Amino acid sequence: MKIGFVGLGRMGLNMVQRLRNDGHDIVAYARKESSREPAKAMGATTVASLEELVDQLEAPRKVWVMVPEGEATEETIRELWNLLSKGDTVIDGGNSNYKDSARRAKWYKQKDMGYIDCGTSGGIWGLKIGYCLMYGGEKEIVSQLEPVFKTLAPKDGYLHVGPNGSGHFVKMMHNGIEYALLQAYAEGFEILNAKKEFNLDLPAIAHLWNQGSVVRSWLLELAEDALKKDPRLESIKGFVEDSGEGRWSAKEAIDMDVPAPTIALALFERFRSRQDQSFGNKFIAALRNEFGGHAVKKQG
Ligand SMILES: NC(=O)c1ccc[n+]([C@@H]2O[C@H](COP(=O)([O-])OP(=O)(O)OC[C@H]3O[C@@H](n4cnc5c(N)ncnc54)[C@H](OP(=O)(O)O)[C@@H]3O)[C@@H](O)[C@H]2O)c1
């Protein structure tokens, strides 16, 4: 199938490679020539503008967008809206907020153009294993993309989950769950690491637990790999970014009165990880000193 591809970063480039490996015809765009060159080496036709990308495709055109969520996606989707015509379809494979996706789908509908919000999971391993795809959109529109979904995903790894917005909603929750899982493993390994008297071999325990234990998982396999490289993680700073889905998951839980304490706490732990000194902890120490005379440690 011939398809335009916008965004050739960690995700987009590997997806182009997987599509090329299966014989799809790709017209690829990213702003910088250095981002486009590797796609060219994979046999994609590379173009220096979205106008050129649209010109290179035959109607009904399909364009997959894989750029950072927020402003970059908004600009790209808006520019494509101006350039594309009735019958063409855009697939946003990035981690967009589902409300933005539902709004963008409405714009596209105004011009009788298709829109698909496709949550994409698999990270840098997707090239080898395939990408897990969860997408929202109209049935007739998503069915046109079947050959592309089939190539990108592993067996049984793609699903039409509902109307526009639902693909990115499901992806948001996938990532919300990921926050909580990472936090649980992190706390468990922190306690193991703290038990100095046993001098526990953390990579060996991660490996062991991956052999039939109830907590075995792909994340634990990745933990095993990371701990083999650096058993006490001494080379890494405990600073954890977030890219939106954890916040959105917690907000959705609040809006719908759904209890989700573990996801919310995992999100707040990430915020905590970015503080050298927490004002809140200073506050507690100061008050304990005020009411009970408990000692405070002074800043050095
Ligand atoms: N990394 C992951 O594990 C992962 C997993 C699932 C989903 N996602 C989602 O997938 C999307 C892409 O992530 P990524 O990790 O591949 O990001 P990335 O490595 O930062 O790559 C972004 C790509 O988009 C291009 N780009 C940036 N701004 C652009 C713009 N305004 N117009 C056109 N192209 C633009 C960049 O190249 P130029 O600067 O040359 O334009 C680059 O090729 C994001 O929405 C992300 O949340 C990522």
Instruction: Please report, in tens digits, the pLDDT of each residue of the chain (300 residues total).
Output: 999 999 999 999 999 999 999 999 999 999 999 999 999 999 999 999 999 999 999 999 999 999 999 999 999 999 999 999 999 999 999 999 999 999 999 999 999 999 999 999 999 999 999 999 999 999 999 999 999 999 999 999 999 999 999 999 999 999 999 999 999 999 999 999 999 999 999 999 999 999 999 999 999 999 999 999 999 999 999 999 998 999 999 999 999 999 999 999 999 999 999 999 999 999 999 999 999 999 999 988
**171 is known as an active-site residue:** yes
Burial 124-147 (b: 16+ CB within 10 A, else e): eebbeebbbbbbbbbeebbebbee
List the residue whose alpha carbon is closest to atom 4 of ligand 1.
123
Selecting among 69, 171, 245, 252, the annotated active-site residue is: 171
Mutate to test the pocket of ligand 1, among 31, 71, 92 (most ligand atoms within 8 A of CB): 31
Predicted TM-score (pTM) of this structure: 0.95
What architecture is domain 172-200+237-281? Orthogonal Bundle (1.10)
118 Cα–ligand 1 center, Å: 14
DSSP letters of 74-103?
HHHHHHHHHH--TT-EEEE-S---HHHHHH
**What ranges do the domains of the chain cover?**
2-162, 172-200+237-281
**282 is known as an active-site residue:** no
28 DSSP β-pair partners: 5, 46
Contacts 24+ apart (CB under 8 A), 278-287: none
The CA-based dihedral angle spanning residues 101, 107, 111, 116, taken in that order and rounded to the nearest 10 degrees: 0
Is 35's C-beta closer than 6 angstroms to any atom of ligand 1? yes
Is 37's C-beta closer than 6 angstroms to any atom of ligand 1? no
State the first-to-last Cα distance of the chain, in angstroms, to the nearest integer.
64
CATH of domain 2-162: 3.40.50.720
**Pair 108, 90: CB distance under 8 Å:** yes
